[in-house]
Structure 1
Amino acid sequence: MRDRDHVAEIDLVLRGQATGRDGIVSDSWRRCVEHYGLDPARPSPAHIVTDAELRSHREQSERLIAIARSGLDALFRQVAGQNYVLLLADAKGVTVDFFGDTRFEDDLRRAGLYLGSDWSEHLAGTCGVGACIVTGEAVTIHQTDHFDLHHTPLSCTAAPIFDTSGQLAAVLDLSLLRSPQPKASQSLAMNLVRASARRVEMANLMAMTRRDWVLRLSASPEFLEVDPEAAIALDPEGRIIGLTHAAQAALGGSRPLLGQRLDQLLELGVDDLPDLMRGRPTEDRLVRLRDGRSLFGHAIAPQTARLPRGLPLLPGGLSSLAGADPAMQRMLSRAARLACSGVSLLIGGETGTGKERLARAIHMCLPRPAAFVALDCAGQDPAALAAQDWTAGATGTLFLRRVDDLCPEAQAVMLRQLATTRLRVIATSRGDLGQMVRDGSFRADLFFRIAGAALHLPPLRLRQDFDWLVDRLLRGGATDGLRLTAAARSDLRGRDWPGNLRELAATLDTASLLAEGQVIDQTDLPPALLALPPAADPDEDLRAILDACGWNMACAARRLGVNRSTVLRRMQRLGLTPPG
């Protein structure tokens, strides 16, 4: 189709005339012109975010990227030789992971089929990722289905990936630079992305709910244990605390399932789940729904044996945030008690300590699906902030990232805006917000509005579960299956980690690329990029650092940047002795 014919067809759709296009495509064309003000006669190149923006998007999606990696790698191998490109975009439409043939890298970059490309509909027009985000459905946008003339050679098939609370988390897209003319030629691509998205959701649910009962469901006993269609996670009382999108469709329809009791949906309760575990023929594991239908069920018991002894069971994703660190466990227990209270929370801590992860884990404790509305306060324009509309949300979380970066004018607007919302506020701050109030650089009335209760994440250098964190980061993604030598582990323990968990994850990722085989040695570790300046008080946090190092003098000396004898002298002066 020539360019002017394409523009003419879009004009026909805008005038309400049928052209034979899918309803999803026609609706998207109308949005492109009427809502976004896009011009079909003016092609625009691919929208690529900056490196800093890409890092931010990848950091927010790093957990899902790691979980999805092996499945996406398998999918890409499955279509190898057919010139497909595989993209994983976040819920905002930015490509955060990519699989493609490096021989065509320049062509893929120009087409936007590459890392960092933004496929949100308001920028790219009608496209696979953008239409999938808007509709929440799997779609194929084939050649001239695309709104923008720059994209009409492409064929893009996309499927949504939902998180365990039913919110859109990502989009999986399988695209071709050039494809056969019939749209039906992409039916195999559609089947592949749907199946892969379902498996990513399943893997995500299993990773998030290791301490809970999981019931996996299938219409066929043959695939029940190897490739089930749906799954739900349950708390000890049998309430649903997580699910895959297929489970919502199979069991709930339009009725939300989170918080529902298992025995309200199926003719069995949580005490009956052991009868559906391995060891019994799959064809005998029939479960009946209250509406008369039947499915086959496979129950997986909580993996409590893997927990460090003595750690409490915490709801939602809170259990996955710390190992045997007393300060972290006290903080997480407090977070669990506050999670469903509606009290506004202020989370403090250095850059990279995991403040947003904690906020999302608290949000996941809610008993039913709810929105998670995130706002980055850094550089927030007061006028743009005043235009935000949070009045529609009846339940859910308003997450204010880096609230300490609000300018005075934006603070005043934020205070007025918060008076209009019923969303529960969780804010994060890198600095001491209380001191900023005392200094007059942060409004006291806004501080008390967002700080109903305060939680603080300690820096990595003071955490006593360092080895647990390292082992957890080594599971999944490119580092899965790798192990550290004693020398490498000792080197990591002795660093001061100004970038905290984010720096540790990046260090392990880099080391995995440099390592030969399955072992990371000390020589594979990249050097520390930034060292903390010496503390103004040489005795500052000495006990905490010694605790974090297990009272190993050499480790503490490396973190403090002094020799071992200096640590011993300071201990003697302060009267510090090893516990026990």
Structure 2
Amino acid sequence: MVEHDHVEEIAQVLDGQATGRDSYVDASWRRCVEVYGMDPTSRVPAHIVTDSEFRTHREQADWMIGAARSSLQRLFRQVAGQNYVLLLTDAKGVCVDFFGDDRLVDELRGAGLYLGSNWSEDLAGTCGVGACIYTGEPVTVHQDDHFGSAHTGLSCTSAPIYDSLGQLAAVLDISLLRSPSPKSSQNLAMSLVTSAARRVEMANLMAASRREWVLRFSTSPEFLDVDPEAAVSLDGSGRVIGATHAATRMLSRGKGLIGEHIDSLLGLSVDDLPDLMRDRPTEERVVSLSDGGAVFGHAIAPQRPRRAQKDRSTPEKRAVGGVLATLAGSDPTMARLLAQAERLAPTHVPLLICGESGSGKTKLARAIHMASRRRGFVALDCAGAMPEQIEAALSAQPEPGTLLLRGVEDLRPEIVRALPALLDAHAHMRPIATSGHAPGALLSGETLPAALYHRLAGSVLELPPLRERQDLGWLIERLLGRRCGGEMRLTPSARSELMARDWPGNLRELGNVLDVACALAESTVIDLPDLPAAPRPREETLDLEAVLDACNWNMARTARRLGVNRSTILRRIRKEGLQAPQ
């Protein structure tokens, strides 16, 4: 359709005339003109949010990206080779995850089918994501269904993703840059995207309900245990505390499900749930609906005994268990980080662990792998790694596992180009990347392309350096016991010296210092002479007193001049017995 005809048809809709298009398209066109004041002839480019805005949207969507990642990977494999691109947007229309052909990246970016693009209707006009957000229903906006002339070549099919409380949480979109003219050509895309959205909702409900009863439904016994259509989660009294959107439609009778007792919705009570577990044939697990119909039910018992009162502690106060608990003592920053790592461990979210050299990035990655209960673990040093090495290592791991990429900032250009395809081809391996650079430096310095960075950094964990940790004393005692046996101990003066050091080498340096001290000590007691000397910053070889005089004994200015911490200057002053002039 030429632009003039498109404008004429929009004018007809505004005059109340029928066009034969879907009603949601007509309604959106009217909003574009009457509410947003848009001009269909203007070729407004895609709206891309700023880097800081994108980080905010991405962080807020972390939980949803984790729930959706497996379904997106499965869907992308289904449409491989057909030039489809998959977008996952948040409820505001901002794309927070993306799967597309690397050969089309520039063209997709130009069309706005990329990370950070905002497809809300008030910015993009009539489009799949915007119409889906507005209606709350699956839609296809095909070619000149789009309002703006910049997007009339696209075909976009979108489905909503609701959280377990019934609120719109995200939109899953499958789009084409070019497609056949008939809108019916996208019927398969509609079927695929709605099925994927349903699976994302199911995965989210299951992840959030490990300590609750879950009742899943299907109209067919064959798919009940493997791909159910709907599900609700229940508290101990049988009250609904979570539901997928399909369950709400199936059971709500025009009102919400949350807070309803299951026996008022179905022909069973909470005491009947054990009869619907896997030990009975699926065809015998029949559940009566209030309208006289019936479905097949699958009940899943709580994975742990229910507690009398829900744990309301904050993540930093909640106890971290398992192998992750061995990584820190009483340090608030580490407690928050490990609580986050514990929640992310069983998900499919790719992780980026940042921190200074020796701060424990690989140790944290291995602990997350162990907590995830995945089987295979492949660790690769990015410096010098070649594509065939990564391909061979991944091909040797047929079961779900973890791929650890150490020093991702050192990836060769050929690896950077090949890695997205390798990750897609081996989607059963969850990537965990480590870097000595800060997250912003990896992007701002163009160390990694944005597409690869966001493929690897589903969530970022930043390890604090040892000098900032409040559990240094605990770490010293723990490493001393591990490296030197249970008999060695530190004198108070030796312990004070270790506590006062800056530890530029972090945990690795601390471990080496304790190894040397244990070897030099002539008894089971480690004293000051047994400790290797601390490395001195190059600038401190200068006459400290002369630098202090030059800075008028201003500690902060002296520290900046020498490139060290203010506390280091104070320690050196005391050690050398220096005194400020009267």
TM-score normalised to structure 1 length = 0.63
- Post-superposition offset of 1:560: 12
Matched, 1:526 2:423: no
Distance 1:141 1:256 in 2: 29
User: How big is each residue's C-alpha offset from its partner over 1:271-299, in whole Å with a ceiling of 9 and x where there is no partner?
Assistant: 11010000211111001123322111000
Question: Counterparts of 2:381 and 2:169 in 1: how far apart (Å)?
Answer: 28
How far apart, in 2, do the equivalents of 1:521 and 1:174 lie?
30
4+ long deviations beyond 6 Å? 315-321, 510-513, 533-536, 543-557, 559-562
Task: Read off the aligned partner of 2:222 and give its amino acid letter.
Answer: E
Task: Tell me, in whole angstroms, the C-alpha distance in 2 between the residues paired with 1:513 and 1:167.
Answer: 43
- 1:299 match: 299
Percent of paired sites with the same residue:
53
Matches within 5 A, 1:426-445: none
Give 1:84 deviation, angstroms. Answer: 1.2
Q: Which residue of 1 aligns with 2:95?
A: 95
Q: Deviations over 1:81-125 (max 9, x none)?
A: 222111111111011111111111111111111111110000000
CA distance in 1, matches of 2:255, 2:313: 24
> What's the offset of the Cα at 1:547?
10
Aligned position for 2:79: 79
Q: Distance in 1 between matches of 2:464 and 2:249?
A: 51
Displacement after TM superposition at 1:10 (Å): 0.8
Unaligned runs of 5+ residues in structure 1 are 330-456, 496-509, 571-580
Greater shift in the superposed pair: 59-68 or 545-554: 545-554
Give the aligned partner of residue 476 of structure 1.
347
SS in 2 for 1:85: strand
Compared with structure 1, are the counterparts of its residues 197 and 491 closer, same or farther at alpha carbon in structure 2 (3 Å cutoff)? Answer: closer
Structure 2: distance between partners of 1:151 and 1:48: 15
1:218 alignment partner AA: S
Alpha-carbon displacement from aligned partner over 1:101-153 (angstroms, at most 9, x marks no partner): 11111111111111111100000000000000000000010111100000001
Is the partner of 1:71 in helix, strand or coil? helix
Partner Cα separation in structure 1 for residue 406 and residue 99 of structure 2? 29
- 2:315 and 2:340 in contact (8 A); partners too: no
> Deviations for 1:174-201, whole angstroms, at most 9, x for unmatched residues?
1111111111111111111111110110
Is 2:285–2:298's contact at 8 Å kept on the other side of the alignment? yes
**Partner deviation per Cα, 1:501-523 (whole Å, 9 max, x = no partner):** xxxxxxxxx98895854566695
The equivalent residue for 1:42 is 42
CA-CA distance at 1:79 after TM superposition? 1.3
Q: Structure 1's 532 and 44: CA in aligned 2 closer, same or farther, altered over 3 A?
A: same
Change (3 A) 1:459 1:21: same
Residue of structure 2 in register with 1:314 after alignment: 310
Count the aligned residue pairs.
416
Q: Per the alignment, in what secondary structure is the counterpart of residue 526 of structure 1?
A: strand
C-alpha contact 1:216 1:229 (8 A) present in aligned 2: yes
Alpha-carbon distance in structure 2 between the residues aligned to 1:255 and 1:99: 36
Partner of 1:174, secondary structure, is strand
Q: Does 1:25 align with 2:25?
A: yes
> Any stretches of 5+ residues in structure 2 without a counterpart?
366-377, 383-389, 395-400, 408-432, 439-462, 485-497, 518-525, 529-582
CA distance in 2, matches of 1:276, 1:14: 54
| 1:69, distance to aligned residue in structure 2 (A) | 1.1
1:384-463 alignment, distance < 5 Å: 459-462=332-335
**C-alpha separation in 2, matches of 1:119 and 1:50:** 14
CA distance in 2, matches of 1:82, 1:522: 30
Q: Structure 1 residue 177 and structure 2 residue 173: aligned?
A: no
Is the 8 Å Cα contact of residues 534 and 560 (structure 1) preserved in structure 2? no
In structure 1, what is the Cα distance between the partners aligned to 2:95 and 2:30? 25
Q: Within 5 A, what are the aligned runs for 1:154-303?
A: 154-303=154-303
Partner deviation per Cα, 1:47-91 (whole Å, 9 max, x = no partner): 111222222211111121122111111111111222211111111
For 1:106, what is the secondary structure of its paired residue?
helix
Opposite residue 301 of structure 1, the aligned amino acid is A
**Aligned in 2, Cα 1:523/1:100: closer, same or farther, shift over 3 Å?**
closer
Q: Scaled by the length of structure 2, what TM-score is found?
A: 0.63
Tell whether the 8 Å contact from 2:362 to 2:406 is kept in structure 1 after alignment: no
Change (3 A) 1:321 1:180: farther
CA distance in structure 2 between the partners assigned to 1:7 and 1:302 by the alignment: 57
